[in-house]
Amino acid sequence: MRRAHTVEQVRAAEAELMARLPEGTLMERAATGLAVALSNFLRRTYGARVVLLIGSGDNGGDALYAGARLARRGAQVIAVLLSDRAHQGGLTALQAAGGRVGTPEDIPGADVVVDGIVGIGGRPGLRPDALDAVTLAAEHDVPIVAVDIPSGVDVDSGETPEPHVHAALTVTFGTHKICHLVDPAASACGPVHLVDIGLDLPEAPVQSLQSADVRALYPVPDADSDKYSRGVLGLIAGSTQYPGAAVIATTGALAGPLGMLRYLGPDAVAQAVLTKHPEVVVGEGRVQAWAVGSGLSPETLDRELFDRITQQQEVPVVVDAGGIAALDTDRAGYVVITPHAGELSQLIGVPRAEIEARRLHYARLVAEDRRLVVLLKGATTVVAEPDGSAYVNPIATPWLATAGSGDVLAGLLGSLLAGGVPEFEAAAVAAYLHAAAGQLAATDGPVTAMKVAAALPEVTRQLL
C-alpha cells in the first residue's frame, strides 16, 4: 500500500521524532537519501554539475546538505539563493565541501537543478525570482529533481492553481504526500522516490493499492464454492441505440470473480449478449449485486425497476453512465457511482475543467453529500467514500480513453461486489485491475474496450 499523509500529520510525526533524536538527525537522514537519489539520477557524481535552488527553511537545508555530500564526491555544486533566510548550517557545510554560491546564469550549463525552493508548508505558486529560475531550467532542458514536493503545488489536495515546478523526479521523506498521488499535481512530480526517515504515522487519508493489496482483497473460490456462493450479478445495461454496451459490460463482469450473471434488458440486446456469452442467464432472480446504467440514459432506464434496485439497502449497486443522473439523491450506502469528469459536472452543476483541476475535492464532496462511494474516472482514478477516505490509482494508460472502457469497468466492479468485496475496496480493486488490463492490452498499441476486457483474466492470473 502506498500511503499519503497530510501536512499536519507529517509535521506532528516529525516533531515527535525530533524530540527523541539528537538535533539535526532528521535532516541528516533526509539529506543522505536525497544525495543518493541524485547520484542515481545523474548516473555519476564526479564532474557532474548540480545547481541548487534554495529557499528558506528546512527544505532548502536538505538540498544544501545533500549538495555538500555530492561536492565531497567530486560534483560541481552551485547554490542559487532565492531567500536571504537560507539554512545557514547547510550553506556552511556546502561551502566547506567546495560548493559555491552562484546566480541563475549557472542553470543553463547544469546537469540537474535541485528544487529546494519550498517544502510541504508552502502555498501554491512561485515567487517571481523562483519562477524565472525554474523557467530558465525548462528553456534549456535541464531536468529538475524536487525535494519532497515540486514547489508551487498544493500539497494536501493535489491541485495546481498557480505556476509550479515540473519535476523529472521527486525525492520525498517519511511518507508520500497527497500531491504525489493525486492529479494534476501527481503529473508534476515525475517518479517519486521515498526515503524512510523513521516517522511513526497515523492512518493515511489517501492510499494507493499495490499488487499485494489487490491480491489480498480478491475473492478466490475454494473447494466448497459454487456459482451462487461465488456471487451472482444482475446487469442492466445497453439499449437498442447502444446494444454494444451490454456486451462489453457483460464481458467485463465475466472476467471478474462472479459465478453467474443475470441480464435484464431489451430482447434484441439480450440476444446480442447471449450470442457472445451463452452462459449468461436472461431474466430476474436472486443476485448479490447489481450493475446498472452502461449504454443507458435517464430516458431509456426502466425507472420503476431502477428505483426498486437502488432504494433497497441490502444489495450493493454499481451505477454507471445514464443511471448516475437518475439516481435518487437521498439514496444512502451500498451504491458506487462511476462518473467521468463530464458526468460529475452534469450531476453537480460544476464546470468540467473545475472538476479536473480539483479531482480529489469533488470526489470527496459528492461522496459525503450523497452518502455513497464515488469512483471518478480519469488518468488518475479517485475513489472516495463518505468519511473522506480515498484510494487513488495512478497507473492507467492513456489508451484506456476509448469508447466502452467504462462499461468494462462497471461490469468488473459489479462482479467484485457480487463476490463479496466491500464497496470502497471493490471500487479500488476494479480501478487497479482495469488499468493493469489496459496496460497489457496496449502493449502493441491502440486498444478497444473488448481488448481491455479480454486482458483481465491474464492480469488476474498474474496477480494471483
Tell me: is residue 377 an annotated ligand-binding position: yes
Tell me: is residue 444 an annotated ligand-binding position: no
Tell me: is residue 119 an annotated ligand-binding position: yes
CA dihedral 432, 436, 441, 447 (to 10 degrees): 40
Is residue 288 within 8 Å of 232, Cβ to Cβ?
yes
Tell me: is residue 378 an annotated ligand-binding position: yes
First to last CA, the chain: 17
Tell me: is residue 193 an annotated ligand-binding position: no
Tell me: is residue 388 an annotated ligand-binding position: no
Tell me: is residue 174 an annotated ligand-binding position: no
Tell me: is residue 22 an annotated ligand-binding position: no
Tell me: is residue 407 an annotated ligand-binding position: yes
Tell me: is residue 307 an annotated ligand-binding position: no
Tell me: is residue 227 an annotated ligand-binding position: no
Is residue 33 within 8 Å of 172, Cβ to Cβ?
no
Tell me: is residue 257 an annotated ligand-binding position: no
Strand 289-292 and strand 169-173: the pairing is unpaired
Tell me: is residue 156 an annotated ligand-binding position: no
Tell me: is residue 67 an annotated ligand-binding position: no
Helices marked H in 43-127: 58-72, 88-96
For residues 35 and 52, give the distance between their C-alpha atoms in angstroms, rounded to a whole number.
Answer: 12
Tell me: is residue 245 an annotated ligand-binding position: yes
Tell me: is residue 107 an annotated ligand-binding position: no
Identify each DSSP E strand in 82-209 by its residue range. Answer: 100-101, 112-116, 144-147, 169-173, 176-177, 192-195, 206-208
Closest CA to 263 of 292, 222, 241: 292
Tell me: is residue 177 an annotated ligand-binding position: no
Longest dimension (CA), the chain: 81
Tell me: is residue 380 an annotated ligand-binding position: yes
Query: Which residues is 114 bridged to in the sheet?
Result: 52, 145
Angle between helices 405-418 and 423-441 (to 10 degrees): 140
Is residue 136 within 8 Å of 116, Cβ to Cβ?
no
Tell me: is residue 151 an annotated ligand-binding position: yes
Instruction: Please give the annotated binding residues for (6S)-NADPHX, written as ranges.
Output: 58-62, 119-125, 148, 245, 295, 340, 407
Instruction: Please give the annotated binding residues for AMP, written as ranges.
Output: 377-381, 406
Instruction: Please give the annotated binding residues, written as ranges.
Output: 58-62, 115, 119-125, 148, 151, 245, 295, 340, 377-381, 406-407
Instruction: Please give the annotated binding residues for K(+), written as ranges.
Output: 59, 115, 151
